[in-house]
Chains A and B, each alone.
Chain A
Amino acid sequence: MASIADFAAAQKPIYHQERPSKTGLLDWLTTVDHKKIGILYGGAGLFWLLVGGLEALLFRIQLAKPDQHIFVGDTFNGLVTMHATTMVFLAVMPMIAGFSNYFVPLMIGARDVAFPRMNAFSWWTFFAGSLTINASLLFCGAFPAAGWTGYAPLTTKDFGGTPIDFWWAGLTLLAVSSMVAGVNFVVTILNLRAPGMTLMRVPVLTWMMLVIQFLLAFSFPPVAVGLILLAFDRTFGTVFYSTGMGGDPHLWQHLFWLFGHPEVYVLILPSMGIVSEILPVFTRRPLFGHHAVIFSGVFIGFVGFGVWGHHMFTAGMGPIADAAFASTTAIVAIPTGVKIFNWLGTLWNSKMTFPTAMLFAVSFIPMFTLGGLSGMMHASPPLDLQQHDTYFVVAHFHYVLVGGALQGLFAGFYFYMPKISGKLLNETLGKIHFWVFLAGFNITFFPMHLLGNHGMPRRIYTYPADAGWNTENLIATSGVFLMTFATLTFVYNLITSLKNGKDAGSDPWDANTLEWMTSSPPPVHNFDFTPVVLSERPLWDHKYTPGFEIPVPEKAEEIHMPSPSWKPMWVSASAGVIIVGLLTFNGIAGIPGWPLCIVGAIGVVLSVYAWVTEPV
């Protein structure tokens, strides 16, 4: 039996150009290393996860009892809006981007992404966007309060205050970041695979990442257009969303949901991928129906572009459109079912062990199933007319996004952190995290099904005592405290493990895929030699299948790693200047801000010129 210790004996590659491995602040600012950018994304995602959780805690306290006056009116609406905006765009998406950045190149045996500087540009643009959205609290003392869906005309100048400007500005930057990242990773996954890694040998997680990169690249443009029209309305006084001039509020809804539904799959598919990576490792057998799981993910991605209208059943598109969207939406149940059955098939006849990563991965299955099944109800317009915009929907998407996406990401943290830090997370704390979180999450969100059934609409800041919603609301709020405790346990575990954790070694889980053959944390160049891939489970077969050992070349490889660069940050900063110019276009205190747009545009041109002529 071969051992992965063999790889350590391989010749260190010869650098054509030394990439400094400093870890000072300067290095983090100029880094183009996919692993460092991944850590930046993941760290930012965790930070915003805590912020978004705090926002939820605050408004759940307001809702714990009827007729309370702690956060009322637009303060409450702002908390709700920012909770959703933060969780979707600033917590879950960057955590996904973190895993994608760190592990996609490692899983496909590449040295970095296809365009490392563009990758840094994505990160800095995301960073600028995340600050911009939240800056409204600093400059206006209020959060945007039109809901994360920002339905026009509530967002127009007539009805939405200045915080909305920060909202569109931030989201526009995030859209640019995501589209660029999408293009970059599509190329990376398609073109930078190691020799022998045919598409069917690409790990399922990387496959799901490929699907979502297409979704990012193709679904963000519609919402970008919607946001640009909104920005024009608010800044220049165009009339896109003004019904008095013939405008139609449905335009925003179509553009938003044409992005919004693929976005839902952007949030869930990576977690499905993580679960599909973790189950085989801890069941010690291959993923059951490996190809079916991949194809169903691709299918979900395609169908995702044809179902947006199911968010608009109550909007009055007419029965024909409703029927079409109801049918396409129902189809989504089929590939989703295929995935669930295959995961169950993987568990069957296996020999399971249950470290925390596996606990989160298996609990994903029933929790996601519950969320999926309530989703089937919403696909039925006669039923959705009752459930739309109620707490039943809130329960549904939290089962999918917390029980599904977030649990999958937690599983990912326990599974992959040892590769990133070289240290294992504490299992006792991990198990406390898992059980308390599972309990808290169900106590919070299960009663919301009942609240919806009993007629409670979402996004209301108060409710009368005689509406029959008191008990469930109190239960739901109590669950949030458990989730908060669990998440803080996790963060504590994460931080202390960096110092006190047990050494992980390169392959702590006896895993299947290429990322586990290099050291933990991996060197700057990822692999000492480019691995040749002979099967779906290259590392497993290397260890357990005679004749499938990954060959170690005798000669050292010559490599060239790109140097650190300031240019990505310059371009992001110039784009940020354009945005500030638009925000202050008509002037603050008599000083017009529009010249900043010109300054920013010139900055973009100059820094792009510097970028393309920079030696790498």
Chain B
Amino acid sequence: MSAHAENLTHDDAHGHDGHGALAENNFLGLPNIKLAMWAFLGSECMFFGSLIGTYFFYHGNSLSGPLPKDVFSIGITSISTFLLLMSSVTMALAVDSMKQQKPSTARNFILATALLGATFVGFQVLEFHEFYTEKHLVFAGPNASLFGSTFYTMTGFHGTHVTVGVIWLVIMSILIQKKKLVPGKEAVNVEVMGLYWHFVDIVWIVIFTFVYLLEFLK
């Protein structure tokens, strides 16, 4: 047997990851849920890639106005972008606090993240409202334009992702409050939430850079 012992690289890698998922074996030494989030984010990359790709495929195709330059206001969107970027900082602090066994600090940072995220969504609702009522950028119906349909769909799906994240953060803070989510093995759940949150942030940075800013580069 000893001749084959060297082939056995991972036979000691048993362990539970302790959050409901079944984990008799843990080959990569990485919690299942974290691996799953990475795979899911890969899938999400293709999703937002397709949406942003659609926007660029149709860029300049719109036969009726208004056009991007007529509606974008970089100043206000910069503020909401800044808030969303700040929420990534609070999210990172929440993950760190959870790792350092400080659940109540973590909960506060999670709530702060949720608040910043909700503010971002609020800004987006205001932006949509302004675009629709004052700048006549229409999503659907007889007055719709191609730019309106693609813009609202793309940013709307991003906003939906932020909203889902906010709901998730709120649920998580409740679970921490009720001590159903405790530091230690379960800290990984907060970390995974963080991965999602940072991803949604990055998608926004891509949209803000390529959709909003590039419009004014020329």
Contacts and interface: CB of A to CB of B under 8 A. Distances in A.
Answer yes or no: are A and B bound together in one complex.
yes
Interface string B1-27: 101100111111110100011111111
Interface stretch (B49-57, B86-94, B96-104): B49-57
B50 A221 contact: yes
Contacts of A41: none
B9 A196 contact: yes
A251 B141 CA distance: 20
Interface string A570-611: 000000000000000000000000000000000001000100
Contacts of B22: 111-116, 560-562
Nearest to B12: A195
Contact of A246 (B44, B58, B180): B58
| The 3 residue pairs across chains A and B that have the minimum distance between CB atoms | A195-B11, A221-B47, A221-B46
Contact of B35 (A191, A548, A612): A191
Nearest to A616: B20
B10 A247 contact: no
B24 A115 contact: no
A123 B117 CA distance: 33
B58 A547 contact: no
A239 B144 contact: yes
A246 B141 CA distance: 15
A110 interface: yes
B29 to A, nearest CB: 9
B26 A191 contact: yes
A108 B26 CA distance: 12
19 contacts: A114-B32, A187-B36, A190-B27, A191-B23, A191-B35, A193-B27, A195-B8, A196-B10, A224-B50, A232-B149, A237-B142, A237-B144, A239-B140, A245-B62, A245-B145, A247-B61, A255-B50, A532-B11, A535-B7
Nearest to A525: B24
Interface in A94-133: 108-117
Contacts of B61: 246-248
Contacts of B62: 245-246
A217 to B, nearest CB: 4
A239 B146 contact: yes
Interface string B122-147: 00000000000000000111101110
Interface in B36-91: 36, 39-40, 42-44, 46-47, 49-51, 54, 57-58, 61-64
A190 B24 contact: no
Q: How large is the interface on B (under 10, 10 to 19, 20 to 34, 35 or more residues)?
A: 35 or more
Interface residues of A, number: 68
A191 B58 contact: no
Interface in B135-183: 139-142, 144-146, 149-150, 153, 167, 171, 175, 180
B4 A534 contact: yes
Contacts of A194: 25
Contacts, number: 183
Interface of A: 108-117, 179, 182-184, 186-187, 190-198, 217-222, 224-226, 228-229, 232, 236-240, 244-248, 251, 254-255, 258, 530, 532, 534-535, 547-548, 551, 559-562, 605, 609, 612-614, 616
Given A116-B22, A547-B1, 5 more contacts: A179-B43, A191-B30, A195-B12, A232-B140, A236-B140
Contacts of B217: none
B50 A609 contact: no
B24 A192 contact: yes
Contacts of B21: 114-116
Contacts of A108: 25
A530 to B, nearest CB: 6
B46 A251 contact: no
Given A229-B153, A245-B145, A193 B25 contact: yes
A254 B58 CA distance: 13
Given A116-B22, A183-B43, A247-B146, A190 B54 contact: no
B214 interface: no
A183 B175 contact: no
B54 A229 contact: yes
B9 A198 contact: yes
Contact of B171 (A219, A229, A609): A609
Most buried by A among B13, B22, B23, B47: B22
Given A183-B36, A187-B36, A225-B50, A237 B167 contact: no
Nearest to B37: A183
Contacts of B167: 605
A111 B14 CA distance: 13
A224 B20 contact: no
B43 A245 contact: no
Contacts of B27: 190-193, 197
B47 A225 contact: yes
Given A114-B36, A229-B54, A246-B61, A196 B141 contact: no
Nearest to A183: B39
Nearest to B174: A609
Nearest to A193: B27
B54 A251 contact: yes
A534 B57 contact: no
Contacts of A113: 22
Most buried by B among A197, A221, A559: A221
Contacts of A221: 43-44, 46-47, 49-50
A222 B46 CA distance: 6
B32 A239 contact: no
B25 A240 contact: no
Given A221-B50, A236-B140, A532-B8, A246 B25 contact: no
A100 B36 CA distance: 18
B32 A534 contact: no
Most buried by A among B43, B139, B153: B43
